[in-house]
Structure 1
Amino acid sequence: MNRFLTVLFVFLSVTVMAQKEVYLFSYFVDNGQDGLHLAFSNDGLKWTPLNEGKSYLTPTVGKDKLMRDPFILKGSDGMFHMVWTSGWWDKQIGYSESKDLIHWSEQKGIPVMEYEPTAKNSWAPEMVYDPENKEYIIFWATTIPGRHSDVSDSEHEKGLNHRMYCTKTRDFKTFSPTELFFNPDFSTIDATILPKNNKFYMFLTNENPNPPQKNIRITNADHASGSYPVKVSEPITGKYWAEGPTCLEVGEYVYVYFDKYTEHKYGAVRSKNMVDWEDVSDQVSFPTGVRHGTAFKVSEAIMKLLKNK
C-alpha cells in the first residue's frame, strides 16, 4: 500500500509539473504591418521577446492589412482563437486560430459593422467565454456619428466617440447580429474582461478629452453577457494617459498592464482584492516598441514549442 501511495504521489507530482503554466504577451509594434509578436514571463514583471523579436504571423486581411491589438484566448475546444484590428477604418475585424501559436489557420475578416453604413471603425476586439450560454462574446469599439451622447471636444479626437459593440459565436463560423454591449456616458475603447470569483470584471478606458481623462476604470457583472453597470469605478491608473488594458492573475495578484502611449512605454497596477490598486509601473519591463498587448497563460509544452521555433 505504501509503495502504491508513493507511485501515486510521484505520478501526481509529475502531472502537476507538466501542467505548470507560464505567461505570454501578444502585441504589435510600429503600425502593425508585420503582424503578431509574442513575449514571455515567469513572474509577470519581466517580459522577454520570443522568436528574436520577429513576427509569428503576417496580416493578410483588411484594407490596410494590419494586425493591431492582437487578442488571444484559449477556447474550451483547446484552440487559441485570435482577433485583431485589421485596419484603421475597417468595418471588420481579423480572425485566425491555432493549436500551438505557430501554425495558424487562414485569416478571415468578420464583418461586424458592415450593416452600419456610417460606422467609422472596428477597433481593439477582445473576447470572453460565456459558460452559461456556451459561447464566445467578441466585443470591440466603434464610432457611429450621432448615435451616442456627445463628447466634449470630440473633434480633437477626429470626431471619434466610441462605444462597445459585440457579436456572439460558438464555432467562429456563424455569428449573432451585432448589438450594443456597453454604453456609458463617455467615450470608451480598449475594454477587457476578467472572469474571477463568479463575477466578470470589465476594465476599460475613459477616453473623454475635455477635461482629459485617458484612464482605466472598472465595472463588473454577474454574467459574461452583462449587463455591466455604466457607473464605473474611479481611475485605477495615475496622472499619465493609459490605454489598452489587459489582465493577468499571477499568484495572489491581479495585474492590469496598459500602454502609457504618450510616454512610449508600458505600465502596470496590481491588486489582491480588486479594490485597492498598487502602481508597479517601475517594476515591469517589456520589449522595446511593444504596443497594445494582451496577457494570457499557456502550458510549458507550448512555451517549449515557441522557444524552439
Structure 2
Amino acid sequence: MKNLQIALFLLINVAALSQSTPKEAYLFSYFKDNGQDGLHLAYSLDGYSWKALNNDKSWLTPVIGNAKLMRDPCVIQGPDKTFHMVWTVSWNDKGIGYASSKDLIHWSEQQFVPVMAHEPTALNCWAPEIKYEAATKSYMIYWATTIPGRFPQSEGAGDEKYNHRMYYVTTKDFKTFSDTKVLYDKGFNVIDATIIQDKKEYVMFLKDETKTPPQKNIRIARSNTLTGGYAAPTAPITGDYWAEGPTVAKIDTVWVVYFDKYTKHTMGAVQSTDLVNWTDISDKVSFPQGTRHGTAFRVPMAVLNKLLEVR
C-alpha cells in the first residue's frame, strides 16, 4: 500500500509539473535608439512582463542600406521552422532588409530588397512586416512608402514631406518577388501596419499618421482577403497619446496589442477579447529600458532555452 501511495504521489506531481511548464514562450524583436546597433530580443512567459536576452546586447549588426540601421525588426517563423526577418534599413531608401535564421542566434547574409526601386521619386520604405499565407504557400511583405504627389488629397497633412500609403510584394523563397502593389489607401497618411488572422478574417492594425489635425493613433481595418479589400478604419483603439509600431499577441483568449508611446519614451498596450472593445493596460506591461517597437511572436521553449544560454 505504501509503495502504491508513493507511486500515485509521484504521478500526480509529475503531471502537475508538466502542466505548469509552458511549451511555448513569447519573444519580442525590437530596436533601441536609432537602430544603429541592430536586433534586440526580449522574452516573456506571460506576455506582460518582458526581460532582455543577451544582456540587452544586439544579436545582429546591420550592414546594408544607406544608413545601415535595423529599425522596426519584424520576425516570423515559417512552416519550415525558419525565422524570417525584415527591417527598415534607412530613413530614406528604396528597399528593405531581409535575413533568416534557424535559431535566432546565427543569421544568414543580410539582403537588400529593392521593393520601391521602380519608383524614381519614392522617399522611403518604413516598418516592413511579413505575413505567411498557407493557402498560397507564400509570404506577403508589406511596408509604408511616400511617393510625393501620388496622393494629393492628404498632401501636407503629415510630418514635413511624408504622405505614406501601405504597399506589398509576395514571395515564396525570398529570392524572387512579385510586382509592388498598393495594399492600403483610404485617403489618409498611414504607416506601421501589422496583420493578424482571426478565423477567416484578416485584421490590420495601423497607425493613422495624420498630423494636421493630429491623430497619431492606432486603428483597425478588416478584410476577407490578405492582400487587399481592407475597409475604412475604426475609431482609435489607443488613448490620448501618440502611439506607433503596433504588434499583436494572443494570450489565452485575450488579444494584446503592444505599441510604442514614442513621445513618452515608453511602451504601452491595450487588450480585447473580441477585437472590438479595448482596454488600456499600459500599466500592466513592462519592457527593457529603451525598447522601441518591433514584433511579438511565439517560439517553442527549446528555442528560448538556447537563447538563454548565450551570455
TM band (smaller chain): over 0.9
Secondary structure (helix, strand or coil) at the match of 2:235 reads coil
Q: Amino acid of the residue matched to residue 67 of structure 1?
A: M
1:222 to 224, 234, 238: 224
2:201 to 199, 202, 211: 199
Superimposed CA distance per residue, residues 237-272 of structure 1 (whole angstroms, 9 cap, x where no aligned partner) = 001000000000111110000000110000000000
Superposition pairs for residues 94-243 of structure 1, below 5 Å?
94-151=97-154, 153-154=156-157, 157-229=159-231, 231-243=232-244
Contact preservation (8 Å) 1:200, 1:223: yes
Contact preservation (8 Å) 1:32, 1:68: yes
> What is the Cα deviation at residue 151 of structure 1?
2.5
Contact preservation (8 Å) 1:124, 1:140: yes
What is the CA–CA distance in structure 2 between the aligned matches of 1:46 and 1:19, rounded to whole Å? 15
State the match for 2:268 in structure 1. Answer: 267
Structure 2 residues without counterparts, runs of 5 or longer: 1-14
Structure 1 residues without counterparts, runs of 5 or longer: 1-11
State the match for 2:249 in structure 1. Answer: 248
Go from structure 1 to structure 2 and tell me whether the alpha carbon gap of 1:15 and 1:98 turns closer, same or farther (over 3 Å shift): farther
More deviation, 17-26/32-41 = 17-26
Contact preservation (8 Å) 1:18, 1:300: no
Contact preservation (8 Å) 1:83, 1:125: yes
Q: Amino acid of the residue matched to residue 275 of structure 2?
A: M
1:42 to 36, 45, 54: 45
RMSD: 2.1
1:82 to 85, 101, 107: 85
What percent of counterpart residues are identical? Answer: 54
Q: Which has the larger radius of gyration?
A: 2
What is the CA–CA distance in structure 1 between the aligned matches of 2:307 and 2:16, rounded to whole Å? 25
Superimposed CA distance per residue, residues 200-251 of structure 1 (whole angstroms, 9 cap, x where no aligned partner) = 110001111111000111111122223211x111100001000000000111
Contact preservation (8 Å) 2:149, 2:155: no
When normalised by structure 2's length, the TM-score is 0.92
> What is the Cα deviation at residue 18 of structure 1?
8.6
When normalised by structure 1's length, the TM-score is 0.93
How many residues are paired up? 300
